[in-house]
């Protein structure tokens, strides 16, 4: 008979879904929330590890490292004292609702930060020697804490010297280096002091969850809101991306069609100084944390928010403008699936039409059921098939995962039927999840492009298609290696067993299962190995599950029964690999990548940087010369680019599509002095927004881009089409699908 906990777990477990709403009530105490989190971890986590002394030691270590990631503020003396006081009991105290260790350790951290910032300000008044041959560590994540205050002073002297030298050598100095560095650490101290008790407990419970595995975590109410936004790709706000600059929330960009862009009064570069809710008084937001400003600007659809802002063109900073906006739903279209229709020449000089599907995540709106990765991809595939593409690439290079159900359904679009993934719970019971739809949306030549950043649901998709022999996997040596399944458990459902509950209580993202390939192996730690490996700067073991602390081990289950893709659809992997390797050897762009990889590998292994001004100037000059040389070589090559048309969910049914690349565009940009991006899917900026996250909100792709992985993947797909003896491309198939808008 199931226990009360197991029955509750069965009711509440929603794999990678937004939190289940509970009726509003009196907020649960922090102590009760902590007790609930502890019990859920003990009874619900995949490992079923009790909150014993071993967990306690990992818990304390994880909490200290979340606070002091670079091992610079605490000393070993501090760590030893904290271990003696809390090392064997901290985890057990959670079950008693004892949170004193959280507050005491955070108070000590705050004091260490304050003391260090005071010392830094004194250090900045002293002359700094940029002529020594000293070096400092680039990363201290794996280093020991300094043994005492004297050793910490020495480490910080080198660190501050390096920061001052960086600013001194900057081509675009904002202000004198000492003032800039001083303000940076003032901001750090201010952020530490602004963490209230709820935020301190959130960090504390995060540390407890991560002592079990790196993907379990406590989600506060704000975290849950952001989780829902990321899964549903929509929020209610004004449609402005914000960046913290000089103590202000500065407008970085505006979403087309959003309230701010439609209103027209707010401009890029405006700095927000105060925010008011409807007719209420303004609240000064200068020097406020950006996430707090964002929270104030977001709100319910149809409500009003007033902003006081310094115009971007103001010559007098005392000038202000008052803008009142009505909040509305904002669609995060740059995170939706999109496609390209690419017309290039094959090795015989004949045009061939190929499809490219970019999938940033496996999203799903669990509440409203308005967003579905599978539904969106199906619409794009219909358009690509209508255009008679000869082959397709699914680009998962930056896809960190998402909904398990969407991963299953999307895989099914490319297979007739059969198992997709196996999952195992803590009892060792294995469950097989199969393709929910016997139909197939696309049966042509298929390549899946991956990287070390492809994780979780991406690995389920890639692994299944590889095991079935349905697709060729191209990219980094391996994907990320996350082979675990998480569920979202609202704390209020369990806190109610101990007292009152509320949706303010947050939730626990809990690892409850591991998933396995249909062939029996796990993607945990190992990831999905590429059939054809392309040189890439992301292809480093430091960018993977194996580099994370407390990662669960690799294991295997029995092979599932499944039928491989028809033998007549051979993937010709050996031939494709040989052809690709020959091309890569002669590709200057891949030579650049391999040179950069060697330098990066050396830097990571050496983990030191010089604080000698002359040496750093030489390194900067060498970097500049290398970039200039490569730019000249690229211009001299004058390689013909393909013709690329962009298909979005907004344009999928329109007769005309946007032409984003055409022969000569890249060379034209170079001649006009425009530097192309080296990667069209560059990581999002560190901006924050009332959208959540950063990146190109328009996603228009107008900027010419150099992407050797994309180009070689298209070459491999062209070879696969040729070797598969696919349908010959008719003359109509060579024509542009549309006229450019």
- Residue 44 predicted with pLDDT over 60: yes
- Which residue(s) pair with 394 in the sheet? 357, 448
Nearest to 405 by CA among 466, 333, 456: 456
- Residue 334 predicted with pLDDT over 60: yes
3-state helix, strand, coil in the chain (%, to 5): 40, 20, 45
Q: What is the pLDDT of residues 484-518, one digit of tens each?
A: 999 999 998 776 554 445 667 889 999 999 999 99
Catalytic site includes residue 677:
no
User: Would you state the pLDDT for residue 20?
Assistant: 30
- 568 vs 603, higher pLDDT: 603
- 549 vs 690, higher pLDDT: 549
Give me the percent of the chain exceeding a pLDDT of 90.
60
User: Would you state the pLDDT for residue 708?
Assistant: 94
Average pLDDT over residues 420-430: 95
- Residue 4 predicted with pLDDT over 60: no
Give backbone dihedrals phi and psi of 159, rounded to 5 degrees, phi first.
-65, -45
- Residue 5 predicted with pLDDT over 80: no
Q: Where are the domains of the chain?
A: 4-223, 234-331, 334-606+638-734
Nearest to 340 by CA among 660, 725, 100, 645: 645
User: Would you state the pLDDT for residue 524?
Assistant: 97
User: Would you state the pLDDT for residue 57?
Assistant: 96
- Residue 725 predicted with pLDDT over 90: no
Q: At what angle do helices 404-412 and 457-467 cross, to 10 degrees?
A: 30
Average pLDDT over residues 689-710: 50
- Residue 283 predicted with pLDDT over 80: yes
- Residue 14 predicted with pLDDT over 70: no
Nearest to 183 by CA among 111, 124, 235, 132: 124
Q: At what angle do helices 149-168 and 613-637 cross, to 10 degrees?
A: 40
Average pLDDT over residues 430-439: 90
Please answer whether residues 29 and 492 qualify as being in contact, where contact means their C-beta atoms are separated by less than 8 angstroms.
no
Q: What is the pLDDT of residues 203-242, one digit of tens each?
A: 999 999 999 999 999 998 877 777 776 666 566 788 888 8
* CATH number at 234-331: 2.30.42.10
Q: Judging by DSSP bridges, how do beta strands 484-490 and 135-137 pair with one another?
A: unpaired
What the block records as the tokens of 320 is 């202000």
User: Would you state the pLDDT for residue 218?
Assistant: 93
Distance CA(706)–CA(634), nearest Å, equals: 10
Average pLDDT over residues 31-39: 94
Q: Which of the residue ranges 113-127, 418-432, 697-711 would you say has the lowest mean pLDDT?
A: 697-711
Given the structure tokens 């506060």, which residue do they identify? 220
Q: Which candidate in 202, 250, 371, 482 is catalytic?
A: 482
Count helices and strands (H / E) in the chain: 22, 24
Q: What is the pLDDT of residues 317-328, one digit of tens each?
A: 778 899 999 998
- Residue 692 predicted with pLDDT over 60: no
User: Would you state the pLDDT for residue 233?
Assistant: 58
- 697 vs 627, higher pLDDT: 627
Under DSSP, is residue 322 helix (H, G, I), strand (E, B) or coil? strand
- Residue 699 predicted with pLDDT over 50: no
Catalytic site includes residue 89:
no
Q: What is the chain's mean pLDDT, rounded?
A: 85
To the question of domain 334-606+638-734 being in CATH 3.90.226.10, the answer is: yes
User: Would you state the pLDDT for residue 25?
Assistant: 41
User: Would you state the pLDDT for residue 501?
Assistant: 52
Q: Which candidate in 244, 456, 530, 580 is catalytic?
A: 456
Report CA 443 to chain centroid distance, whole Å.
31
- Residue 722 predicted with pLDDT over 60: yes
Return the beta strands (E) in 553-676 as ranges: 608-610, 643-647, 658-661
Under DSSP, is residue 395 helix (H, G, I), strand (E, B) or coil? strand
Please answer whether residues 15 and 484 qualify as being in contact, where contact means their C-beta atoms are separated by less than 8 angstroms.
no
Q: Which candidate in 467, 688, 690, 707 is catalytic?
A: 467
Catalytic site includes residue 467:
yes
Instruction: Using pLDDT thresholds of 50, 70 and 90, give the confidence band for residue 382.
Output: very high
Q: What is the pLDDT of residues 549-580, one digit of tens each?
A: 999 999 999 999 999 986 545 899 999 999 99
Q: What is the pLDDT of residues 148-196, one digit of tens each?
A: 999 999 999 999 999 999 888 887 676 789 998 998 899 899 999 989 9
Instruction: Using pLDDT thresholds of 50, 70 and 90, give the confidence band for residue 15.
Output: very low
User: Would you state the pLDDT for residue 698?
Assistant: 33
């Amino acid at each position: 008979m199931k226990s009360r906990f197991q029955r509750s777990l069965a009711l509440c477990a929603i794999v990678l879904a937004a939190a289940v709403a509970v009726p509003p009530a009196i907020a649960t105490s922090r102590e009760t929330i902590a007790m609930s989190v502890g019990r859920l971890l003990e009874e619900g986590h995949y490992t079923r590890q009790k909150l014993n002394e071993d967990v306690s030691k990992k818990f304390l270590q994880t909490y200290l490292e979340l606070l002091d990631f670079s091992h610079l503020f605490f000393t070993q003396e501090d760590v030893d004292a904290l271990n003696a006081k809390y090392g064997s009991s901290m985890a057990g105290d959670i079950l008693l609702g004892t949170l004193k260790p959280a507050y005491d350790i955070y108070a000590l951290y705050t004091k260490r930060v304050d003391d260090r910032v005071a010392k830094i300000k004194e250090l900045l008044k002293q002359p700094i020697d940029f002529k020594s041959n000293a070096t400092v560590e680039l990363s201290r994540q794996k280093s020991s804490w300094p043994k005492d205050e004297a050793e910490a002073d020495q480490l910080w002297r080198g660190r501050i010297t390096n920061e001052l030298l960086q600013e001194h050598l900057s081509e675009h100095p904002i202000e004198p280096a000492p003032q800039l560095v001083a303000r940076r650490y003032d901001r750090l101290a201010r952020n530490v002091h602004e963490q209230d008790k709820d935020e301190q407990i959130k960090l504390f419970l995060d540390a407890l969850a991560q002592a079990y595995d790196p993907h379990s975590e406590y989600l506060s109410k704000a975290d849950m809101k952001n989780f829902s936004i990321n899964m549903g790709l929509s929020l209610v706000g004004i449609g402005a991306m914000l960046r913290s600059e000089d103590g202000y929330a500065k407008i970085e960009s505006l979403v087309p069609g959003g309230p701010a862009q439609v209103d027209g009064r707010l401009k890029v570069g405006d700095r927000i100084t105060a925010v008011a809710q409807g007719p209420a008084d303004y609240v000064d937001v200068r020097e406020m944390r950006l996430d707090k400003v964002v929270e104030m600007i977001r709100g319910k659809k149809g409500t009003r928010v007033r902003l006081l802002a310094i115009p971007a063109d103001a010559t007098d900073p005392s000038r202000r403008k008052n803008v009142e906006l009505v909040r509305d739903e904002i669609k995060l279209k740059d995170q939706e699936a999109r496609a390209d229709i690419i017309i290039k020449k094959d090795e015989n000089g004949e045009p061939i039409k190929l499809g490219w599907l970019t999938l940033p995540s496996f999203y799903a709106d669990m509440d409203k059921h308005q967003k579905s990765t599978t539904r969106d991809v199906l619409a794009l595939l219909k358009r690509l098939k209508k255009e008679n593409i000869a082959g397709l690439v699914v680009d998962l290079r930056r896809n960190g995962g998402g909904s398990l159900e969407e991963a299953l359904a999307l895989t099914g679009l490319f297979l007739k039927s059969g198992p997709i993934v196996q999952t195992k719970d803590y009892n060792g019971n294995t469950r097989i999840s199969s393709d929910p739809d016997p139909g197939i949306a696309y049966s042509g030549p298929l390549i899946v492009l991956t990287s070390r950043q492809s994780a979780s649901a991406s690995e389920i998709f890639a692994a299944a298609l590889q095991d079935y022999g349905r697709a060729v996997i191209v990219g980094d040596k391996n994907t990320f290696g996350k082979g675990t399944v998480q569920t979202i458990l609202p704390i209020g459902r369990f806190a109610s067993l101990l007292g009152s509950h509320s949706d303010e209580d947050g939730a626990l993202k809990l690892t409850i299962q591991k998933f396995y390939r249909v062939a029996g192996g796990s993607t945990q730690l190992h990831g999905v190995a590429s059939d054809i490996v392309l040189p890439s700067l992301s292809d480093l073991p430091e960018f993977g599950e194996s580099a994370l602390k407390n990662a669960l081990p690799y294991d295997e289950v029995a092979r599932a029964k499944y039928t491989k893709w028809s033998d007549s659809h051979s993937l010709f992997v050996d031939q494709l690999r040989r052809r690709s390797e020959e091309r890569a050897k002669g590709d200057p762009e891949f030579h650049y990548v391999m040179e950069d990889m060697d330098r990066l590998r050396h830097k990571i292994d050496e983990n030191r940087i010089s604080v000698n001004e002359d040496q750093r100037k030489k390194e900067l000059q060498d970097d500049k010369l290398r970039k200039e040389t490569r730019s000249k070589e690229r211009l001299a090559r004058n390689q013909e680019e393909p013709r690329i048309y962009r298909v979005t969910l907004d344009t999928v049914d329109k007769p005309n599509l946007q032409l984003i690349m055409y022969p000569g565009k890249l060379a034209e940009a170079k001649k006009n002095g425009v530097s192309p991006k080296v990667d069209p899917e560059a990581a999002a900026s560190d901006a924050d927004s009332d959208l959540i996250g950063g990146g190109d909100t328009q996603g228009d792709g107008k900027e010419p881009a150099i992407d050797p992985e994309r180009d070689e993947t298209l070459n491999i797909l062209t070879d696969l089409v040729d070797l598969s003896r696919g349908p010959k491309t008719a003359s109509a198939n060579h024509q542009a699908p549309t006229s450019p808008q």
